[in-house]
Structure 1
Amino acid sequence: MLWIALIDRIGSGLWASVSVLYFTYVTGLSVAQIGTLVAAAGAVGIAGAPLGGRLADRLPLTHVLIALQLLRALASFALLTTDNYALLLAFSAAGSLGDRAANVLTKLYATRVSGPDRVRYQAVNRTVANAGWAVGGLVAAGALTIGTTAAYQWLLAGDAVSFVAVALATARCGEPPSATRTIATSKDSVPATRPASPWRDRTYLAYVATETVLFLDDAVFKVGLPLWIAHSDQAPHGLAPLLMVLNNVMVVTLQVPLARFGATTTAARALLIPLSAVFAIGGLTMALSATGGVVTATLFLTAAATAFTVAEMLHATVSWELSVALAPDTAQGAYLGVHGLAQAVQRSIGPLAVTAAIAAGPLGWPLFGATIALTCLFQHRVVRDRLSHPALSVPPVTVSEH
């Protein structure tokens, strides 16, 4: 699956950095139309996570993944065929739905095949994925120097081809064991109760709600830092892409070493305490970047990017472990699908949260960091009872009970 992650992210890197430019210069959409298209596609994509999770509890996981990758490929190829706005919106929404569902099922696959080593496996997978993003982004940057319609179209075609390649590679992967499907197909075993539903699990839903806030580090790098720098009188505007490079390099080099601090359920929960401090530091250093000249702004913004990157890596480690440890083994797909909503919803509310922090001035960033820090502490408390004493209505987790 690591090679699959690499190919997938190289393709996504080709498209993600030029999608707005493609819709602007190739299909001729206005800024308002592009904004609406991206928002609508993102809204449809939210449904992909729970839908994919439920399908994976009923059908062979690899078969569902192959279908989703082919859906993403068809959606990308279809974008090449039209400049009709309604069709572009429909194809983008289909691709977004497949993307969010495939992300959840890739995590579920890793959970099923890696067992107790799932945190390290996910860390390695994320490192490979980030390397793929970097390679795809570099190729896209080179193509942008050409700047022709054909160059944009070839990048989109490359993204589509990568999904076909991933589907073919997935077809060669073995089907991981599934407690849900084993129970459902066994002639000798009849479940005493219906599989647990995440929608009736108040603890898990509360956990997912806190996860939506903790994923806001993504909006910091995609929207917050670039906008803050763009509206700063002191920060060099060229600093924004350099901080993105810093984020990528740190994730590639440090994600795996940091994963060992959250290798068990108990350790992952304990990691929420230092994570809260790192988020608070990130917000504070962002505010301090507005207190001096160019050198001060550069140093504090670099410190803020470093802090939020560390927070991103620590949260990824915690999230990988707790999202599975809190789920019953007979409904992992459904539960991880609901967990996937956190990241999908964050993509909608994240830009609003960071722009609100910017609009509030320097004091907005400490409040932003403090809000996430308090959410970390709240999550630490929310999951305590479940991890210590699993609820009677929820079957025990498969591995890593402590």
Structure 2
Amino acid sequence: MLLITLVDRVGSGLWASVSVLYFTYVSGLSIAQVGTLVAAAGAIGIAGAPMGGRLADRFPLTRVLVALQLIRALASLVLLTTDHYAVLLGCTAVGGFGDRASSVITKLYATRVAGPDRVRYQAINRTAANAGWALGGLAAAAALTLGTTAAYQWLLVGDALTFVATAILTLRCAEPPSPSRTVTTSSDATPTTRPANPWRDRTYLAYVATETVLFLDDAVFKVGLPLWIAHTSSAPTGLAPLLMVLNNVMVVALQVPLARFGATTKAARTLLLPLSAVFALGGVTMALSATGTAASATLFLTASAAAFTLAEMLHATVSWELSVALASDTAQGAYLGVHGLAQAVQRSIGPLTVTAAIAAGPLGWTGFGIGIAVTCMIQHRLVRDRLTRKSLSVAPVTVSEH
């Protein structure tokens, strides 16, 4: 599955780096049309996380993942055949839907295969994903030096081929045992208990709401830092891509070692406290970058990027463990699908949040960091009673499929 993640993210790196440019220069869309297309497709794609989780509770994970990868490949290839706006919107939405759904299913696969080692497995998986993104981005950058329509089209073909490759690789993976799907051979077997419904689980929904805030570090790197450097800071504009490289290098080098600090449910919850301090530090150093010389601005921005990257890695560790620990054992897919909404929704509200922080100036960034820090402490308190009750309960009996 790690190789599958690497190949999948190489394709995502190829397309994510050029999608806006493709729609602009190849499809001939205006800036407003491109913005509307990306926003609408992202909103539609939000449904991928919960629907993917539901499917994973009812059907074999590997079969669902193969189907999703082939659908993503088809959506990418159809983009090559038309400039019709409605079709472009539909294909982009399908691609976003497949991306969110496959992400949830990959996480669920890790949960079932790795068991108590799921945090370390997810850390290695995330390292592979970041490496794939980097490789795809470098390949896209090299192809874009040509600046031709054919170069854009071949990048899109490469994206589609990576999805086909992941589908083929997935067929070779063993199906993990599932506690939510059972097979009964006895004719007089009693009916199974109805699976828990995450949409009626107020504690889990509140947890997901706090997760949406904690995922805002993603918007900092994609929107916040570049805009802040370009319009407010005295630091050189060329610093923005270098800070993105710093983010990627730190994740690849440190995600796996840091995972050991959240290897258990209790440790993961405890990690929320230092995480709150790191988020606050990121906001304060971002605010300080608006003062002083270009050298001091560069120093503070680098410190802020490092702090938000550390927060990103620590939160990833906490999130992997708590999202599973808080979920019902009989409906893991459905619960993780709802959890996937946090990241999907953040992609919509994140850019608005960081631009609001930029508009408010240094105080805005200070408030941004402290606001996320407070949310960490709220989450720390929110999950306490639920985790205590679950640890005292009798472990559920899992019926394996045959």
Same fold (TM over 0.5): yes
- Name the residue aligned to 2:321: 321
In structure 2, the partner of 1:12 is 12
- In the TM superposition, 1:218-229 aligns within 5 A as 218-229=218-229
When residues 233 and 263 of structure 1 are mapped into structure 2, their CA distance, relative to the original with a 3 A threshold, is: closer
Residue 235 of structure 1 aligns with which residue? 235
Q: TM-score by structure 2 length? A: 0.96
- Report deviation, 1:65: 0.5
CA displacement, residues 156-207 of structure 1 (integer Å, 9 cap, x when unaligned): 1100000000001001101010011126787675456311000010000000
1:217 is matched with 217
- Correspondence for 1:34: 34
Distance 1:91 1:40 in 2: 12
Note the 1:175-214 alignment, pairs <5 A: 175-182=175-182, 190=190, 193-214=193-214
Write the deviation string for residues 198-238 of structure 1: whole angstroms up to 9, x where unpaired: 00100000000000000000000000000000103511000
The CA distance in 2 between the partners of 1:391 and 1:189, in whole Å, is 30
Tell me how far apart the structure 2 counterparts of residues 145 and 255 of structure 1 sit (CA, whole Å). Answer: 32
Residues of 2 paired with 1:106 and 1:193: CA distance? Answer: 26
1:296 aligned partner, one-letter code: S
Q: Which amino acid aligns with 1:202?
A: R
Which range is displaced more, 330-339 or 177-186? 177-186
Match of 1:167 in 2: 167
1-structure distance, mates of 2:302, 2:189: 57
- Residues 1:278 and 2:281 are matched in the alignment: no
**1:101 alignment partner in structure 2:** 101
Once residues 395 and 35 of structure 1 are traced to their aligned partners in structure 2, the CA distance between those partners, rounded to angstroms, is 51
Higher mean displacement: 255-264 or 191-200 = 191-200
**Given residue 299 of structure 2, which amino acid in structure 1 is its aligned partner?**
L
Letter paired with 2:227: L
Deviation at 1:391, TM superposition (A): 10
CA distance in structure 1 between the aligned counterparts of 2:359 and 2:185, rounded to whole angstroms: 56
**Equivalent in the alignment of 1:307:** 307
What SS does structure 2 have at the residue aligned with 1:330? Answer: coil
Given that 1:327 and 1:397 are in contact with CA atoms closer than 8 Å, whether structure 2 keeps it comes out as: no
* Superposed CA offset, 1:245-303 (max 9, x none): 00000000000000000000000000000000000000000000001110011000000
**Alignment partner of 2:131: what SS?**
helix
SS in 1 for 2:174: coil
Contact 1:11–1:136 at 8 Å: present in 2 too? yes
Distance 1:185 1:114, change over 3 A: farther
Query: Any gaps of 5 or more consecutive residues in structure 2?
Result: none
Correspondence for 1:353: 353
The 1:144/1:327 distance shift into structure 2, 3 A limit, reads same
Q: Secondary structure at the match of 2:177?
A: coil
Q: Structure 1 regions of 5+ residues with no counterpart?
A: none
TM-score (normalizing by structure 1): 0.96
Moved >3 Å (runs of 4+): 183-193, 394-399
Q: What residue is the counterpart of 1:362 in the other structure?
A: 362
Query: 1:41, 1:92 within 8 Å by CA — same for their partners in 2?
Result: yes
Task: Quickly say closer, same or farther: Cα 1:147–1:181, change in 2 above 3 A.
Answer: same
Percent identity at matched positions? 78
CA distance in 2, matches of 1:170, 1:285: 44
2:57–2:332 CA contact under 8 A, matched in 1: yes
Aligned-pair Cα RMSD in Å: 1.7
Q: 1:310 to 1:121 in 2, by over 3 A?
A: same
Alignment match, 1:143:
143
The superposition leaves residues 91-117 of structure 1 with CA deviations (integer Å, 9 ceiling, x where unpaired) of 101111111000000000010000000
Matched, 1:124 2:115: no
Taking a change above 3 Å as real, the CA distance of residues 258 and 303 of structure 1, as seen in their structure-2 partners, is same
2:233–2:297 contact (8 Å) kept in structure 1: no
Query: 1:398: Cα distance to partner?
Result: 8.7
Q: Counterpart amino acid of 1:139? A: A
* 2:60–2:175 CA contact under 8 A, matched in 1: yes
The whole-number CA distance in structure 2 between the counterparts of 1:243 and 1:193 is 51
Q: Contact (CA 8 Å) 2:233, 2:289: kept in 1 or not?
A: no
Show the counterpart of 1:68: 68
In 2, Cα distance between equivalents of 1:334 and 1:256: 27
> Aligned partners of 2:76 and 2:397: how far apart in 1?
37
1-structure distance, mates of 2:394, 2:38: 39
**TM-fit CA distance, 1:329:** 1.2
Q: Within the alignment, does 1:388 sit opposite 2:388 as a pair? A: yes
In 2: Cα distance, 1:124 partner to 1:209 partner: 26
